[in-house]
Structure 1
Amino acid sequence: MTKDQKDNLFSLVKSLTKSEKRQFKLYVGRLGVNSDSKFLKLFNLLDKAKTYNEASILKSGIVKKSQLANVKAHLYKQILISLKLNPSHQNVRLQIREQLDFASILYHKGLYKQSLKILDKAKELAIVNEEKNSAFEIVELEKIIEAQYITRSINTRADELAVQAKELSSQNVIASKLSNLSLQLYSIILKTGYVKNEEESQMVTQYFNDRLPNIKGKKIGFREKLWLYKAYLWYSFLLQDFLNCYKYASKWVDLFHQNPSMINHNPVFYLKGNNYLLESLFFIGNKPKFIKKLDQFKSVVDDTKFNKDENVSTLIFLYTNFHTINQHFIDGSFEEGLNLIPEIENDLITYKDRTDPHHKMIFYYKFASMHFGAGNNKTCIKYLDKIISNKTLSMREDLLCFSRVLNLVAHYEAGLDYHLETLLRSTYKFLIKMNELHEVQKEMIKFIRGLQDIYPHDLKNAFKELHKTLKTFEDHPFERRAFLYLDIISWLESKINNKPVSEIINAKYLSKYPS
């Protein structure tokens, strides 16, 4: 079976809503000459097609092979222009950019005062909405006009613009350094996960301190604070300092609630802040506060005043479902959580073109873990196989590793011993290759490998010995990460006490939060 051809134009056409398609046809139809144009015929063909097939396009006779690239490029551009004119895609950034373009046109026509008037309004809009890069660009154009001594404006004008440019430049430099630091830390955690030892911890701390700009005594606004909290959040995540993760994620979300106009202006950042806030509470294990924050988050994004485009809707789908699932891991209510899986799987089909493979695999890992907690080991293995068999997957190393470790445990629990030795060897080789073999994994693999030599009446003692060994790592700053993905301790306690793992986790949770 051949794979469908990927094409940017086809993806763009298929992403359009009914209203966007209607507006596009109205837009191109404003000129009668377009009604029978090649690019419009190509649009209609692609709109009806289920997959992109270049051969069928050429066979239709709409365009010759030599014309296809140019017609596609023209159609792509026309769709983007149409989308830009669509009210649903209008935002402050586009308004500022449009005003700056108008001012530039007026300047080149010699209408300097008109240009300055537009620039002054655009600059005010940019500063109010924390669009300081645009504000700096506006000031630079104002300086060009004023430097020609054409307008003969007030004497202090030059000083005002110089001070404004200096302040905006300083704030832009701070924001740039903080955003660079935040992005670099995020890149580290995506590739390698949390720090694995003291040496890595010191390296990350030095890396963070060397690049953190000095902001003492400097005027910073919403944007600079946002990047500052982001940088501290990623630094805290890398060090597995989840209390500080919660602290800076809370500052991030509170910053938006203190500046409510910014929620619709930067909805993606608002959603991500809530995602990390909930993730921090999940790792801390505080379900009452977790539920409270999750409900608050849902009430905001479900409000009709909350602006939603395709990107925002996808993020709402991801974060809402991730954390709706996570709540069941905190207190071990796995059976209850299983009811969520079919609906989410159906939604994943709806969002398949907007959900990247990494997030899809995270869902599969959560589904597998949920089934493992509920005792459905064969179903757990089925979901894990979707991750392990995906050879092209670009996914966080720690999740890939723990998928294999959980796969081993699930095979043992399901009584699938006939190829356990092969699984052990492949898992061991994989972990060595990924440089991910920690003490917890070593002990787990050694234990499972030795199970075949243990008599049934000695099995409980073997579980107790492994439990005793692993308990020493439970609060270890670098080894405890293993228990974030797979609660081996509770699994061992379930084997020792002959109780379901969900019952063990729930008892631990109730001891912390009896109400």
Structure 2
Amino acid sequence: MTKGQKDNLFLLVKSLTKSEKRQFKLYVGRLDVNSDSKFLNLFNILDKASRYNEAEILKSGIVKKSQLANVKAHLYKQILISLKLNPSHQNIRSQIREQLDFASILYHKGLYNQSLKILDKSKELALQNEEKNIAYEIVELEKIIETQYITRSINNRAEELISEAENLNKLNVIASKLSNLSLQLYSIILKSGYVKSDAESKEISTYFKEQLPEFKISELGFREKLLLYNAYLWHSFLIQDFSRCFRYAKKWVNLYESNPEMIQLNPVSYLKGNQYLLEALYFIRDHSRFEKAFLDFENRISQKDFPKDDNIEGLCFLYLNNNRFNLFFMQGRFNDGLDHLDDLVKDIRHYQDRIDEHHIMVFYYKIASLYFGVGDYKNCIRYLDKIISNKSLKMREDLLCFSRVLNVVAHYEAGLDYHLESLLRSTYKFLLKMNDLHKVQKEMISFIRGLPDIYPHDIKDAFRGLHQRLKVYEDHPYERRAFLYLDILSWLESRIENIPVNEVIRNKYLAESKS
């Protein structure tokens, strides 16, 4: 990335919409003293610039080098204050937080009764919208005020506040433990991918049971249930129980469908729930339900009442395109996928500051897989190299491993066998280092290494033999992971039948759709 893309202030300025820029100028222009201020002049320069260039800023003469850091920090703060005042960035949480601030001010001025009235309304709003952490803060402030300003029977009021505090604290503790558990499981899957053995599966399941807090489902609210389903979902993903993943992702989405007002309050979580639902359906190869869920998801987020902001826009791009390409893979429509590539690559550049590097690499793997499916092995290798040569990617070891395996197969198919032996050795060493060498991978590497010794008239029999050896792993609890990243069996069938791999996959899809 260029320096301009890394400068936080520059990125913030470039993220502003026309209306946000207009509001910012109105906000700073409310005081005449700001009309020719250094920070406003800096804003105008950054707004017009295509990239961040410190030398050009200093050359303009608006600020000295020794002042630049402070002016940038001040401008950054002023932009955030302006955005905070923008109605488009106001939500229930910020409104409740604002009312809590008002109540605190009134309390410190000794206006206890006014403060309590605001707190009572704010607490009700917080509980209605599952903002139980803020609700707990409100109760704690109410307890402080009640010790100084007794408005009702102290006994009844004290018992009421104590009961509320204990109940909220209990639910907040459960929510915190569940969110911690989900985060830890998510971290494991990003770093190591799925479990690779019974021992790992047992270790993960034991950890999950030990960390799962005690609860009664009847006592849990929307927030706690959502976190519970999230934790179960990540556990299911890790142990590769994808049918169970589907069940909990469905519970997650249904929770929102039963409480539609929560979609407006937590749209990001709603998007993630749909993404996990579609991912689980893709893994269990449920074509019909995947297609319906994808269409429902696409229709829902395109509705006018669906929340909109920069973060949501970036996530919608990510999830829609990720699952659209999964649909192409399931249906064997690789050429249709290629028709979308120019727009996808352009959009990746547009959204690269809103989506993390890992997801960009996943897109590159999908693009490489599309090229592999249509027989364009050189472009396949080109996109795989973007992943393999990325030295900063420290997560999703499974993505790194299968990128190398597909890279070996693509080199073989492209006829680039002049350094295939060294490529095989480096891939083998990498898989060993990652402790990710499974039977499917061993069979693949061993087979390709031995191809030069096979006579041309025996090659189909060799492919048939490999197909038979790999077929037994298709439903293996740990080996099947290989088939999620690379449809090796369809590739072998394409070589045996002398037809393109995308045609093999397409025929399978059509046959399954009829059954």
TM-score (structure 2 length as normaliser): 0.97
**Conserved 8 A contact 2:4-2:10:** no
**Conserved 8 A contact 2:112-2:149:** no
**Shift of residue 444 of structure 1?**
0.6
SS of alignment partner, residue 477 of structure 1: coil
Counterpart AA for 2:259: N
Structure 1 portions without partners, runs of 5+: none
1:45 counterpart residue number = 45
Alpha-carbon displacement from aligned partner over 1:201-253 (angstroms, at most 9, x marks no partner): 01000010000111136611000000000001000001111100110000000
Tell me whether 201-210 or 70-79 shows the greater mean CA deviation: 70-79
SS of alignment partner, residue 393 of structure 2: coil
**Shift of residue 358 of structure 1?**
1.3
**Shift of residue 155 of structure 1?**
4.6
Change (3 A) 1:487 1:57: same
Q: Distance in 2 between matches of 1:195 and 1:250?
A: 23
2:30 counterpart residue number = 30
Q: Map 1:8-23 to 2 at 5 A.
A: 8-23=8-23
Counterpart AA for 1:434: M
Q: Map 1:45-64 to 2 at 5 A.
A: 45-64=45-64
Q: Map 1:317-332 to 2 at 5 A.
A: 317-332=317-332
**Shift of residue 340 of structure 1?**
1.7
Q: Distance in 2 between matches of 1:264 and 1:382?
A: 41
Q: Distance in 1 between matches of 2:307 and 2:141?
A: 32
Equivalent residues, number: 515
Q: Distance in 2 between matches of 1:448 and 1:132?
A: 58
Q: Distance in 1 between matches of 2:33 and 2:94?
A: 29
Q: Distance in 2 between matches of 1:362 and 1:402?
A: 11
2:242 counterpart residue number = 242
**Conserved 8 A contact 2:5-2:11:** no
Tell me whether 11-20 or 112-121 shows the greater mean CA deviation: 11-20
1:83 counterpart residue number = 83
Alpha-carbon displacement from aligned partner over 1:307-327 (angstroms, at most 9, x marks no partner): 110000000001011111111
**Shift of residue 153 of structure 1?**
5.5
Q: Distance in 2 between matches of 1:218 and 1:6?
A: 48
Counterpart AA for 2:348: L
1:290 counterpart residue number = 290
Alpha-carbon displacement from aligned partner over 1:138-194 (angstroms, at most 9, x marks no partner): 000000000124445665111111100011000000100110101100000001000
Tell me whether 4-13 or 302-311 shows the greater mean CA deviation: 4-13
1:100 counterpart residue number = 100
Counterpart AA for 2:129: N
**Shift of residue 37 of structure 1?**
1.5
Counterpart AA for 2:374: A
Q: Distance in 1 between matches of 2:485 and 2:85?
A: 46
Q: Distance in 1 between matches of 2:55 and 2:458?
A: 67
TM-score (structure 1 length as normaliser): 0.97
**Conserved 8 A contact 1:181-1:208:** yes
Tell me whether 188-197 or 419-428 shows the greater mean CA deviation: 419-428
Q: Distance in 2 between matches of 1:152 and 1:514?
A: 71
Structure 2 portions without partners, runs of 5+: none
2:433 counterpart residue number = 433
Change (3 A) 1:217 1:383: closer
Q: Distance in 2 between matches of 1:265 and 1:272?
A: 14
Q: Does 2:309 match 1:309?
A: yes
Change (3 A) 1:303 1:5: closer
1:357 counterpart residue number = 357
Identity of aligned residues (%): 70
Q: Distance in 2 between matches of 1:2 and 1:497?
A: 48
**Shift of residue 68 of structure 1?**
2.3
1:197 counterpart residue number = 197
SS of alignment partner, residue 35 of structure 2: helix
**Conserved 8 A contact 2:378-2:414:** yes
CA RMSD of superposed structures (Å) = 1.6
Q: Map 1:78-477 to 2 at 5 A.
A: 78-152=78-152, 155-216=155-216, 219-477=219-477
Alpha-carbon displacement from aligned partner over 1:422-462 (angstroms, at most 9, x marks no partner): 21112112112211111111111111111111111111121
**Shift of residue 22 of structure 1?**
0.5
Counterpart AA for 2:378: K
Q: Distance in 2 between matches of 1:415 and 1:73?
A: 55
Q: Distance in 2 between matches of 1:34 and 1:4?
A: 26
Q: Distance in 1 between matches of 2:54 and 2:101?
A: 38
